[in-house]
Amino acid sequence: MVQIIIAVVAVVALYFFIKKYSKIDATFFDNGSVDFLPMGRVAVYASVCLGAVLGFVVAIYSMFNTDFPFELGFRSWGIVCNIVPYLLFVTIATCFYTAFAYEVSWGRRFARSFFMLFACILGFIGGIVGSVLVLVVLFLWFLLKFIFAMVSGESSSGSSTSSGSSTSSSSDDDDYDYLATDQYGFERKLKSNGFGGYTDDRGDRWKKDGEVFIPDKDF
């Protein structure tokens, strides 16, 4: 849990760093000259994307395999994992080329180059951490959704069973036409058999004597 919190804080900090990158770059290297050229923002974005791709691939591959995708070489999942470092190297090399091409002093060339190097590496690591966090959040979301669906399904099933029992009981009561009391004081449900007689819920025969029902001794 602590690792997740640290990762979230790191990703949020990286977000603000990237958002304010141009301002930070200007703060360090804009000396008021009209020749000042902002550098490295696109490279930082590219580094974040490369880190995110690598993080997704490694995380997903590791869910189903015990080895690392880097061991696959330039085949299958290993293609992405082994190409990404080269692309990151090209991105950083571009930053160095830009700094050495446009800056006039050796001090500023090295300063801006290493600043962009730091920013790219930070963005790359942030992309990896961010992609893993996204996968963790998605996994937890699907897990909670699955649990909620199971709990809701059990509740609905219980309600349906209870409702079905009540309906069945009501239906059973509706099948009988009259109520009578036997000689022991127990209530019996009677249903007309269509021939002037009645059958109770225990299968015994009854007949009507005036306004009351009495057991039919003839059966």
Confidence of residue 195 (pLDDT cuts 50, 70, 90): low
The secondary structure of 3-61 as a DSSP string is: HHHHHHHHHHHHHHHHHTHHHHHHHHH--S-TT----SHHHHHHHHHHHHHHHHHHHHH
Could you tell me if residue 80 is inside a domain? yes
In a domain, 121, yes or no: yes
Residues 102 and 193 both lie in one domain: no
User: Is the domain of 69 the same as that of 126?
Assistant: yes
Same domain, 201 and 136: no
- Assess if residue 170 is contained within a domain: no
Does residue 102 belong to any structural domain of this protein? yes
Structural domain for 113, as ranges:
2-27+38-148
Q: Considering the domain boundaries, does residue 173 fall inside one?
A: no
| Cα–Cα nearest to 48, from 114, 121, 115 | 121
Q: How far is CA 201 from CA 196, 198, 211, in A?
A: 17, 10, 20
Same domain assignment for residues 70 and 9: yes
Q: What is the pLDDT of residue 160?
A: 54
Task: Tally the domains of the chain.
Answer: 2
Residue 99 included in any domain: yes
- Confidence grade of residue 100 (pLDDT, cut at 50, 70, 90): very high
Q: Are residues 143 and 190 in the same domain?
A: no
Are 141 and 183 in a shared domain? no
Instruction: For 30-59, write each residue's pLDDT tens digit.
Output: 877 667 788 888 999 999 999 988 888 888
Q: Looking at the domain assignment, is residue 154 inside a domain?
A: no
Please state, for a pLDDT cut of 70, what percent of the chain lies above it. Answer: 74
Region 161-189: mean pLDDT is 63
Q: Out of 59-73, 84-98, 169-183, which region has the weakest mean confidence (pLDDT)?
A: 169-183
**Residue 166 maps to a domain:** no
More confident of the two residues 3 and 172: 3
- Please indicate, yes or no, whether residues 50 and 124 belong to a single structural domain of this protein: yes
